[in-house]
Structures are given as C-alpha cells and as structure tokens.
Amino acid sequence: MNRAFNRKKDKTWMHTPEALAKHYIPYNAKFLGNTEVEAPKGTEVVKDAVRKLKFQRHIKKSEGQKTPKVELQISIYGVKILDPKTKDVQHNCQLHRISFCADDKTDKRIFTFICKDSESNKHLCYVFDSEKCAEEITLTIGQAFDLAYKKFLESGGKDVETRKQIGTLQKRIQELETENSELKKQLQELEEQLMIAHVPPAGSISMKPQSTDVFDMVPFSPVTPLVPTPASNGCPPPPPTTLPPDIRKDLFGAEPFDPFTCGAADFPPDIQSKLDEMQEGFKMGLTLEGTVFSLDPLDSRC
C-alpha cells in the first residue's frame, strides 16, 4: 500500500478542475466491503483491513456469492458509492471525512480509503477491486483533495461549513426518499387489500331477500287470499288441482256420511221408525238433576 497526496503546485492531474468541481468522474469497481479500523490512517492499518475483507469475500465466494459491482462518483464533495443499475446511493463519503487513500502495489487491482462515519464517528476502511483502474481511481481522489484544499484556502474556510450543510441536507433528502418509497409501497398494499375486499369472488351468487319459505312456498296468511306466485327458478306455477266427482265417493260408490246434513228421507222406513220411537222416548222424560236432555236438534234447551 502506498500513495501520498503531496499538494505540489506543479503536479499534473488526470482530469480538469471543472470536471471534479462542477461534475463528477465515474468509475466501475467491485466492492469487497468496509470494516472498522482503529486509526484514521496508516499503511499497516489498511493492510489489515484488506486481509480481513479478502478473507470474508473468499468465504462468501465459496458459498456461491459473487462480489457486488458498484459505481464510484468522485468529485470535490466526496465519493459516492452507487448501485450501477438502479443508481441508488449505498454510501456517501464526504471528502472532508476521508482521512487516507491508497492503492496496493503488491495487488494492483486493490485500492482503499478510510472515512469517518457521520453517525457512529467510527473510522471505516472501504476496499475495492478494479482490474485496470485502481491506481487511476486513487489519483482521482487525490486530485479531488487537492482542488478541495485550494477552494478551502480561497474561501477562508467558509466552504467547508457549506459542504457540511450540503452533505447533511443530502443525507436528509436520501432518508426522506427512502421513507417516501416505503409509504408508497404500504399505500399500494392497502389499495390492493381494499380491492380484494370489495370485489366478490368469481362464480359467487348475490343473495336476495327471500319472500318464500324453505319449500319455496308463500307463507300462509288467513287475512290475505292465497295467490299463486312464480317459483324462484322462473317456472310458472302449476294449475290448481281439482278432484273429479267420482273421487268424492267412498270405496263402495256412496257419498260420505255427514250427520249434519242427512235428513229423514236418507234412512229406510223401518230404521226411520225405530229412530223416531227412540227420539220420542227421550222427549217424554229423560231427566238428570233437573236438566232435560233432548236429541232434537231443534230443541233450544240443549
């Protein structure tokens, strides 16, 4: 590991000052991860962090996990680490918090820098793998440091505070965007649940108030006359059934006996005379406890 950023006035950098001051320089690399270190700078500190992250990456690779690719955006304001596809910011390392940067001379694909975390105030070492651009990326970060230092001297230190405020605002904006995306997701889930609750399932039959009983019959009411109504299946009601005259007779072909409607002519003469005698006998003196019982239906004393 070796890279010292000496701010020499005659040093020739790779990029124009405008590119780093007004825009950024993008690079693609593989991100081995970050780990906490005890000191803000030092070659041995960085070597230990690289060995640790290489070993962790070797274990993950044996488990089938690939090293994630990231995009680096380098400017005088810091180094952003983004997802190359979605452009989501994974880490935003402000330049005034970066205390050390170096590439590995024994492994020219590895470069790293140490940055102080804004929340925990711990020093984290970020390690990257770039097959062709490791040294170039390290030099670009060095150029960003040089331009930021010159701007600091020109502004009398006011620019540092401005960058701190901008960095804080950028972080707050990122948190609000994340919160907004979560709220949108929850709102979409609630809308889907409401749609499922209001839409009846396929093949369901809407229930209508039934005006008939379990046998599809109109309930009987002694006040209202019975009127045939169509069945629920749409079929017309069957015609009323009437018994033919022959069915009104008994098994022997005679009219059923009705004691309330039969008269004297309904019995043979001999039987009728016996009945008359019996009726006269009862009229002549059948008395029980002062009450006279009569078989004559016309007798009002019954």
pLDDT in tens, 194-239: 888 776 655 555 555 556 665 666 665 555 555 555 555 566 666 6
Element (H, E) at 245: none
Q: What is the pLDDT of residue 180?
A: 86
Q: What is the pLDDT of residue 49?
A: 94
- pLDDT reading at 5 higher than 60: no
Tens of pLDDT along 27-63?
999 999 999 999 999 999 999 999 999 999 999 989 9
Q: How far apart are CA 210 and CA 198, in angstroms?
A: 23
Hey, what are 145's tokens? 């440091």
Task: State which of 117-126, 169-178, 257-266 shows the largest mean pLDDT.
Answer: 117-126
Average pLDDT value for the chain: 77
Q: How far apart are CA 238 and CA 7, in angstroms?
A: 109
Q: How far apart are CA 161 and CA 152, in angstroms?
A: 10
Contact, 125 vs 25, CB < 8 A? no
**Tokens 């904006």, located at residue:** 173
Phi, psi of 80 (to 5 degrees): -100, 140
Contacts by residues 106-112 (CB-CB < 8 Å, ≥ 24 positions apart): 108/134, 108/135, 109/134, 110/50, 110/134, 111/135, 111/137, 111/138, 112/1, 112/46, 112/49, 112/50
Q: Which residues contact 133 (CB under 8 A, 6 or more apart)?
A: 27, 29
Tens of pLDDT along 236-288?
666 665 555 555 566 666 666 655 455 545 566 777 777 777 767 666 655 44
pLDDT band at 123 (very low <50, low <70, confident <90, very high): very high
Return the closest-CA partner of residue 152 out of 94, 96, 79, 92: 96
What sign results for the dihedral spanned by CA atoms 251, 255, 258, 262? Answer: negative
Regarding pTM above 0.75, the answer is no
Answer with the residue of higher pLDDT: 128 or 225. Answer: 128
